[in-house]
Structure 1
């Protein structure tokens, strides 16, 4: 057959692949390979078999060709076939051994001989070494060797920053701490034209930086246009301002800041635009659960189970719904199902532990949190929740140890500092408690949202314990500006005025607290004392008050 006729057949194969007619592609690719016996055509045939899900046959074809031992393209495709067949040890064997230097870069001269097949000179290719490193990482992760998996994922993204899948695995599976994520990103060698990609990646990592730093990253990507570096050839790319992935990052940032309503509104808009954007869906579920939107959770769970019954996210959504309506047994069942579907889905393990903790079943909650801490070393939440469980059982020293571990993993999450302040308060280390609470407020983005009202109240309590009453009153008032429905705030403010012998103000705030919770024992008792003391101002009330201070 003439060369031009063979080239036409190759074009038919490529067109069949683009139209997803894989049986046709396999048929014609087989004939082209028979006519030419060219390695490039054998590779094209193997690709058609792979896309048609004939993995064993594709692997046999590649393995029968001796060039598989000399060309990375052949070796990689053979390993991909074994990946699909779940033969992970054999997959690693086919990929061969490679060495990493101390910086995590791959140095293997055997991998330098690459035969580029069907390469368009205008296209930019992802480094084949990067793809192979990523596949090694997936194989090690499937073999439960997460330490090796992490190293190979890092090697993959370092070999080529365009290998987004490697970065996604590192971030979604919480394999790196905040500092490690930042360090990895700073070590990547981007092309001069990839400035936008560097900025985008910086938005993907944990977003606990100062508010102005994170907002600047988003603004940089939301510019209306970005001109080419060559003024003589002006080309423009459209703004990423309305890009779904970027907006999902922003929603995640709002969630981490405690701006739950803003987060929920943004994800609602995103899901109207792209109903099946799963990252937005996860953030939407988290915000809806914390806001108590049970109807929204119910509808989301029904749709997800119908459309994605094989995904852990769907069953996690069902668990969130039952958790929201306080049916913890059912929520636990579905969180457990989510972990069975995908054991590397972090929210399911956290939810599973929280469902146990909600019923004060501490041992089972601890077991779930410890599993999550082992599987996701870059996520500080399991360690944080372990500390909370110890605090619930009044094991304050142990709680403090785990909170400090969480602080090492994520040194800029304000929730960690808040819990350290609570522990110090319970251990009667009030100066230390004040320091932790003030540190918490210092790193919370402004303006403060209602979610941080308990932190302000805690700080006011600590100041009251130190007998610094003006500061305590100032923070109680600040807490009331965020929420007027807190019994603790009114009770604390009333008690502080009571300690200052300002009985009239104390009585007013005790009444406000009792209006919110009429059966509050502390406020009822202290209101009676305040009324008595207002009648006989000559008596020294403070001994009685300090005896009752245990209630607060």
Structure 2
């Protein structure tokens, strides 16, 4: 057969792969390889077998070739076959010996003489070494060696920042703390044409910067433009409506506690792309926070119908039952989600929260500890363990876990809030004031109703320190955030009472009782304030005489 006829057959194979006609691709690739015995054609045949799910046959073909250990492409595809066959130890053996340090730097490798039969080079390719590092990470994660998996994922991203899957594994599985994520991102080397990608990655990692910093990042990406015809503005395209960017923004709103804003954005995005998994997860958590049980029910039904084997689907069912306070059922479905995917963080946290909602502390702690072990970069399990200890009045233990959560994520205001609460319970009021003030300093967005309890707690701490003016100032700040809090009115009334300002105290006791007429503390203190006010009136009358 002439060379031009063989080249036509190669074209047929490529076309069959493009049209997903894998049996045809395997048939013609086999003939091309038989005619030429060229390693590139053998690789094409193995690729067709792999795409046709003939993993064992593809591996045998590659392993039988004499260059499998010398050509990185052959070795990588052979390892991919072993991955699909779940033969993880063999997969690592095929990829060869190499070591990696904690920072993702690869050394002691014997691949210096390895070949790489490149394509024609017209398309931009992801570095083969990066793909190999990523596959090593997946193998170690499957073997439950998460520390090695983390190091190899870091190595994959460092070898080529375009290897998004490695970064996705590090972020979604919470393998790095917020500081480690920022450090990894700063160590990546982006080309001049990839500046937009650097900005995009900075939006993907944990977002605990100030509001104006994060918003500036989003704005920069939204204005990132592409023009197929630079001379005409009408051909300009931007990332403003990109679904991944919108999902990132929704995640940021959720973290800030702006659940309604988050829910509205995810609703718009899901109309545009109903099967965007990351957005679906954020949408479910926002709906749970807002108590939208009907929305959760519809989402759960659709997900279970479309993706019965995905952990997210059963997590949605668990969220629905959690929302309507049927915690036994919610636990059952959160547990099912963890059985389907043991590395799905929200399911473990939901499982623990469902136990905690019924004051079943031991089971809740067990779920949180498992989550803390599996996801070392996520501070929430450690934070929730601290909350459980605080609920049982083990304040010293609670403080230790809150400090551990602070080490993992030093920028989350919720951690500082809990440290303030535990210090208040331990009667360390100066310490409590310091933690509550740090909480307010770390809030990235403007103060919302979500943070009203923190402001009230700060006022309580000032009152305990007999700093009454500062206390009143913070109570008034809390009232500006929410006018429906009995605790705030009672606190400001009691502070005025301690200052012997009985008139103001009586006014605020009345306001508190208007919201909760059967409040025992306010009822008793109002009686005392009225007696004190009458006594003062009588005393001043005698003085006047």
Does TM, normalized by the shorter one, top 0.5? yes
Maintained 8 Å contact 1:106/1:159: no
Cα distance, 1:405 vs. partner?
0.5
Maintained 8 Å contact 1:288/1:294: yes
Partner of 2:464: 465
Partner of 1:414: 413
Partner of 1:371: 370
SS of residue in 1 equivalent to 2:270: helix
Maintained 8 Å contact 2:296/2:320: yes
Deviations 1:193-242 (A, max 9, x none): 110011111111100012222122111111152579xx999998721111
Partner of 1:277: 276
Partner of 2:43: 43
Per the alignment, do residues 112 and 414 of structure 1 end up closer, same or farther by CA in structure 2, a change over 3 Å counting? farther
Per the alignment, do residues 418 and 536 of structure 1 end up closer, same or farther by CA in structure 2, a change over 3 Å counting? same
Per the alignment, do residues 455 and 101 of structure 1 end up closer, same or farther by CA in structure 2, a change over 3 Å counting? closer
Deviations 1:62-92 (A, max 9, x none): 1111211111101110110110111111111
Deviations 1:487-537 (A, max 9, x none): 211111121122122223222222222232233221222222222222223
Cα distance, 1:114 vs. partner?
2.8
Following the alignment from structure 1 to structure 2, what is the Cα–Cα distance between the partners of residues 273 and 133?
35
Moved more, 494-503 or 332-341: 494-503
Following the alignment from structure 1 to structure 2, what is the Cα–Cα distance between the partners of residues 505 and 478?
17
Cα distance, 1:485 vs. partner?
1.6
Per the alignment, do residues 61 and 483 of structure 1 end up closer, same or farther by CA in structure 2, a change over 3 Å counting? same
- The TM-score with structure 1 as length reference comes to 0.94
Following the alignment from structure 1 to structure 2, what is the Cα–Cα distance between the partners of residues 412 and 227?
38
Partner of 2:428: 429
Please tell me whether residue 336 in structure 1 is matched to residue 352 in structure 2: no
Flag as ranges the 4+ runs of structure 1 deviating above 6 A: 231-237
- The TM-score with structure 2 as length reference comes to 0.95
Following the alignment from structure 1 to structure 2, what is the Cα–Cα distance between the partners of residues 227 and 275?
28
Partner of 1:148: 148
Maintained 8 Å contact 1:366/1:386: yes
Q: How does 1:303-314 map to 2 (within 5 A)?
A: 303-314=302-313
Please tell me whether residue 59 in structure 1 is matched to residue 54 in structure 2: no
Give the aligned length: 538
Following the alignment from structure 2 to structure 1, what is the Cα–Cα distance between the partners of residues 235 and 423?
55
Please tell me whether residue 175 in structure 1 is matched to residue 160 in structure 2: no
Moved more, 157-166 or 231-240: 231-240
Following the alignment from structure 2 to structure 1, what is the Cα–Cα distance between the partners of residues 313 and 112?
41
Maintained 8 Å contact 2:315/2:337: yes
Partner of 1:547: none
Which ranges in structure 1 are unaligned for 5 or more consecutive residues? 541-552
Maintained 8 Å contact 1:332/1:356: yes
Per the alignment, do residues 98 and 366 of structure 1 end up closer, same or farther by CA in structure 2, a change over 3 Å counting? same
Following the alignment from structure 2 to structure 1, what is the Cα–Cα distance between the partners of residues 307 and 469?
56
Please tell me whether residue 195 in structure 1 is matched to residue 195 in structure 2: yes
Partner of 1:546: none
Maintained 8 Å contact 1:63/1:78: yes
Partner of 1:396: 395
Per the alignment, do residues 389 and 162 of structure 1 end up closer, same or farther by CA in structure 2, a change over 3 Å counting? same
Q: How does 1:435-446 map to 2 (within 5 A)?
A: 435-446=434-445
Partner of 1:258: 257
Partner of 1:292: 291
Partner of 1:90: 90
Partner of 1:15: 15
Cα distance, 1:175 vs. partner?
0.4
Maintained 8 Å contact 2:209/2:444: no
SS of residue in 1 equivalent to 2:100: coil
Deviations 1:239-285 (A, max 9, x none): 11111101111111111111111111111111111111111111111
Partner of 1:361: 360
Partner of 1:548: none
Moved more, 95-104 or 395-404: 95-104
Deviations 1:13-42 (A, max 9, x none): 101111111111111111111111111111
CA RMSD after TM alignment: 2.1
Partner of 1:474: 473
Maintained 8 Å contact 1:171/1:205: yes
Deviations 1:328-380 (A, max 9, x none): 11111111111001000001111111111111111111111110000000000
Please tell me whether residue 268 in structure 1 is matched to residue 267 in structure 2: yes
Per the alignment, do residues 149 and 16 of structure 1 end up closer, same or farther by CA in structure 2, a change over 3 Å counting? same
Moved more, 254-263 or 95-104: 95-104
Partner of 2:300: 301
Following the alignment from structure 2 to structure 1, what is the Cα–Cα distance between the partners of residues 516 and 149?
53
Which ranges in structure 2 are unaligned for 5 or more consecutive residues? 540-545
Following the alignment from structure 2 to structure 1, what is the Cα–Cα distance between the partners of residues 73 and 236?
32
Moved more, 280-289 or 219-228: 219-228
SS of residue in 1 equivalent to 2:264: helix
Maintained 8 Å contact 1:72/1:111: no
Partner of 2:542: none
Following the alignment from structure 1 to structure 2, what is the Cα–Cα distance between the partners of residues 439 and 344?
33
